Structure 1
Amino acid sequence: MDTPEFSLSKRHRPKSPWRHHFAWLESLIHPSVPVLPQDTRAPPQPWFLRLPLIRYAILVYIIFAVALSATHVVSWCVTHRSLSSPRVFKDWIPKRTYAQDEPFSLLDGMPHGLKMAKMLDKSDYESTTKVQPYWLRTAQKIHPEGLSLMVMITPESWSDLVRLTDHWQGPISATLHIGTEEDGVTIKDKIRHAYQEHASRFQSVDVHLIETTSRSPSVLLSRNVERNIARLYARTHYICELPSNVIPATDLRRMLDSNKNVYGDYLRNGDMLILPLFVGNNRPSLRNIPNHKSRLLDLVRRGEMGLLDPTFELNQGPTNLSHWEMATQPYIIEKYDLHYEPIVIQSKFVQPWCAERFLDRKSACLFSNHLAGGDFWVLPQDFVVQVAPTKPTTLSSLDAVIEDRLYSKFFWEQCVHHGRQLEALGLWYGPRSKNIHTQCSRVIKNWGRGLIGKAE
């Protein structure tokens, strides 16, 4: 009797080990029932999604994406970010990306008007073409490590520049704004004649000419543009903008030379040195100006002079008169305000440029410097004095309202702009970012949520 042959059917064959361990994968690739509830009336899936190879590819992509995301999250959480190694190298030197071996630049052949229009792109083209740097230029050699005063004047305030040159023999970078509705040729001839006739008085003064249809700040060419022009063409590494009716009461050049190491480091790091501004009930003449702190404080105690921070009440500004009276070393401003406009000594090269969208807003220049990481250091022994009344602003009430609204938006914009820059440079967690963390914490946390509200 033959032994019957038994054959195992497909359902009774032993399962392979890999099929046992990866049964869940088989169920995903070939589900016996829909994984999710489906409408039986729904159309069938596309034919390519029913192919096992396509299903495997989609599954592999999902696993890879999850693994990559998890890797980035773990790396971001555990990686130590060095605060002392920014992503900018100190030895980096800016170079042209084209024709580096040629001694010339394509800018050499560009017309003057086009150059100025590109540099001052927020201003009217016709107005920028009439800007003349070094319209009146001194032939004296200026030491680049010195300090230049920046002054914005008009034909009416030319006498203020003359008074300043009598009291300050250092370099001056002045912008002269002339309106074309006047007899501009006659005015320019008179000023040129006065400059040349008293050459010894103006031996360190450069005058940059600006001609527009109106002398008052306008959208054609704003006062902030004039600040940038005076700064751009100053011949020294350090600059200080002074109103035309203010003069230095102490020897600023001697102060900088004797403290070159300390103050030089401050300025090169982007910090600003504040010169307290004092004003008297009766405007002092040049002979009666106090030139020492002790003499000035005697006048302050008698109520004859006071500390003036523009936009603040007398003796009530962030400069802090009580602190300055007792100070023997520079101190940092503790209660910075968005509208603070002190007179500062700063680097020509380090700080951001003034925002040219504003007609006349010095605080916008200083606010950008502050967010970029610059601190305000009040000088303990030096100061400036206002010797003539401040002329009323020429901005209309409508322009003033527009300026205020622009400035509130500018606050938010600068917080995000400088925050992105500091993060890109690897400085967000370092001491360079302490100012922006203080001023802009609410803006950065709530950006895009509509919860920012007014400036802090």
Structure 2
Amino acid sequence: MSEKRLSGSRPSVAAATLPHRRGSLSINTATLATSTATSQSPISGSVDATISPRRTRGDHFQTWIPRTLSSSRTTPTLPHDKRSYNAHYRLPRLLRHRWIQFVILVYATFSVLLTFTHLCQWSFSEKPITEPPVHIEEWEPKRTYRGDDAYSVVDDMTMAMRFSKMFSKSLPGTIEYTKPYWQRAHVTPTPHDISLTTWVTDKNYDQLIRIAQMWNGPMSITLHIESKAPTTSPETLDMLDQIRLDLQKESSIVQYADIHLLVTPPSYSGALALSRNSDRNFARLFARTEFICYLPIDLVPATELRDTLERNFDSFAARLRAGDVFVVPTFAYITAEQVASPEADWAEQAAEDDGEPENVEKEQFMTLVHEETFIPRTKSRLLHLVETGAMGVEDRHWPIGSGPTDFNKWKNAEKLFAVEDYEFHYEPVVIESRNVQPWCSERFAENGAACLYATYLTGANFWILPHDFVVRIKEQQQTWLSSTETVIQNRLYAKFVWELCVHHARMLDAEGLWNTDKSRHAKSSCSRVINSWGKGLVGE
């Protein structure tokens, strides 16, 4: 009876449930495979269930991770295959603890929820996440190197090393003896005022006195002295002491003028050891106001430019900070005989012509400077002198009465108007921002037009002031250079114009401004140069 049960399709339940008999049970593999393939009845399923060991609830919990990982694999059908399968995916001993499995489950759940929360916030948020703006007024410069040291590496540099980098066109020996703020003004200027900048030498520093009297405001002056001996020699010290004493006699210089000393070797060959454009940059570098006005030493401010800026500060400051400049027309006496005429009192004659009260003091309209030279202080006084042929508008490189300043338009103007016929030799007196304008090119010994042409190519507008002007107090000296130096400088400037055109055109193109209004000046004045030198490099 037992042999029939063993050869049939229903094995003995008792034999299957005994562990010692289950381990010693030998069944023909081929017969069992055939029996398994042909018998799919519920009875065979009960046999498998009977042969498999009974698992407790704890065993089921310990094997939930392997079953999840192996869900994609085919479930084994034979009992001995099932045991080896579970043994192969058996968890490490550490992960069999329930509390560790619980921690893993909590961490996975928290990670999923946190990721889902961030995705929803990013998807449905209307306000973009931006960094808080940094205001320039609140920014404080800090060293990014050796922050724990009380001194900077720059402190170890000599003055000659620093200025040789700032003024790279000069030899280091020519700027070795420099002293910024050799004489500091007693009155600290307000940041938004205008500083008058200029340069003087030991031969013409006395002319600074009359400019200071007429300006009566902040000044930044370069005192350029040529000396055979260094600044510590007795000769140089005596000369500097005498200059200091002479300048301190004028109270306006003591109150408002910052004087910066620059001592260079003498010019044995007649050439300039340091260019006048460098002197201009030196004075601008140490100016203590936001706006500056460079005025040659032989010009005098006839009107109150500082008051004009103060009255129109909101509109003027915005234009200056945007890069525009304000042109101050220059006027000069046409002949030396008309500079001062004892026989004719121009102030009284002008008052009679204009119907102004005779009891008004003459100094309100005309000021005596430079011995017998009268300076008109109002536009009406000036126009009267122009109508009589005594004075005329002066643009350097143009005849008296002509030039880009356009006197015919200026005499009737009541508002600002722009220069329309700009030319790269144009070098008027301008009010500009100290911070945004290009620096003067120091390759030229003396060329103010090079300073302004770079400004023009950046897209700046030249606005002419309708009621302000300056006056030349003596016949214009064309240049400080020799004839040979003048020829060389003119040739260099012609090439410099081409170079500057390509340079600024490429800068505008690199900043994405070539197809904007900023590039209109570069396109109009440099079209031929750009088409030849900059073809394929600038714009379309």
Global fold match (TM > 0.5) = yes
- How many Å apart are 1:425 and its aligned residue? 1.5
Greater mean deviation of Cα atoms: 252-261 or 178-187:
178-187
Aligned to 1:10: none
- How big is each residue's C-alpha offset from its partner over 1:123-143, in whole Å with a ceiling of 9 and x where there is no partner? 011111112211111232111
Matched, 1:370 2:451: no
Alignment equivalent of 1:351, drawn from 421, 427, 437: 437
When residues 375 and 104 of structure 1 are mapped into structure 2, their CA distance, relative to the original with a 3 A threshold, is farther
1:283 to 336, 339, 355: 339
Q: 1:256 to 1:200 in 2, by over 3 A?
A: closer
Aligned partners of 2:213 and 2:252 also within 8 Å: no
Q: Determine if contact 2:163/2:175 at 8 Å carries over to the other structure.
A: yes
Contact 2:174 2:264 in 1 (8 A): yes
What's 2:402 paired with?
Answer: 316
Tell me the TM-score normalized by structure 2: 0.63
Which residue number in structure 2 is paired with residue 244 of structure 1?
297
Count of aligned positions: 361
Is 1:249–1:382's contact at 8 Å kept on the other side of the alignment?
yes
Q: Displaced runs of 4+ in structure 1, greater than 6 A?
A: 89-97
Report 1:23-422 matches (<5 A).
98-99=144-145, 101=147, 105-181=152-228, 183-199=235-251, 201-214=253-266, 218=271, 220-280=273-333, 281=335, 282-283=338-339, 286-287=367-368, 288-391=374-477, 393-422=479-508
**109 and 307 in structure 1: CA distance in 2 versus 1, 3 angstrom threshold:** same
Contact 1:173 1:233 in 2 (8 A): yes
Pairwise CA distance, 1:429: 1.1
The answer to whether the Cα contact below 8 Å between 1:165 and 1:202 also exists between their aligned partners in 2 is no
| SS at 1:225 equivalent | helix
Q: Secondary structure at the match of 1:346?
A: strand
Residue type at the aligned position of 1:139: H
Deviation larger for 306-315 or 98-107: 98-107
> Which ranges of structure 2 fall in alignment gaps of 5 or more residues?
1-132, 230-234, 341-365, 369-373, 536-540
- Contact in 2 for aligned 1:124/1:219 (Cα 8 Å): no
Local SS of the residue matching 1:316? coil
Q: Deviations over 1:353-398 (max 9, x none)?
A: 0001000010000000111111111001111111123335331121
CA 1:94 to 1:422, structure 2 compared with 1: closer, same or farther past 3 Å?
farther
Hey, what's the Cα distance between the residues in 1 that align with 2:141 and 2:493? 35
Unaligned runs of 5+ in 1: 1-88, 450-456
Normalization by structure 1: what TM-score? 0.74
Distance 1:344 1:90, change over 3 A: farther
Distance 2:242 2:190 in 1: 30
Structure of greater Rg: 2
Whichever residue aligns with residue 381 of structure 1, its letter is H
CA shift, 1:150, in A, is 0.9
1:167-221 superposed Cα distances (whole Å, 9 cap, x missing partner):
1210111111211148533321101222345455421001111212237984631
Distance in structure 2 (CA, Å) of the matches to 1:304 and 1:253: 27
Cα displacement string for residues 310-369 of structure 1 (whole angstroms, at most 9, x for unaligned residues): 111001110011010111111111110110010000000111100010000100000001
Q: Is the 8 A contact 2:195 2:292 kept in 1?
A: yes
For 1:405 and 1:290, locate their aligned partners in 2 and report how far apart those are by CA, in whole Å: 38
Instruction: Quickly say closer, same or farther: Cα 1:313–1:401, change in 2 above 3 A.
Output: same
1: CA distance, partners of 2:426 / 2:200: 22
Q: Is the 8 A contact 2:404 2:423 kept in 1?
A: yes
Aligned twin of 1:37: none
Of 517, 527, 531, 1:431 maps to 517
Distance in 2 of aligned mates of 1:97 and 1:217: 45
The alignment partner of 1:206 has SS state of strand
Q: Which residue of 1 aligns with 2:33?
A: none
Contact 2:199 2:279 (C-alpha < 8 Å) held by counterparts: yes
Q: Which has the higher contact order (CA 8 A, sep 6+)?
A: 1
Range that drifts further, 364-373 or 383-392: 383-392
Please give the alpha-carbon distance, in whole angstroms, between the structure 2 residues aligned to 1:283 and 1:221.
34
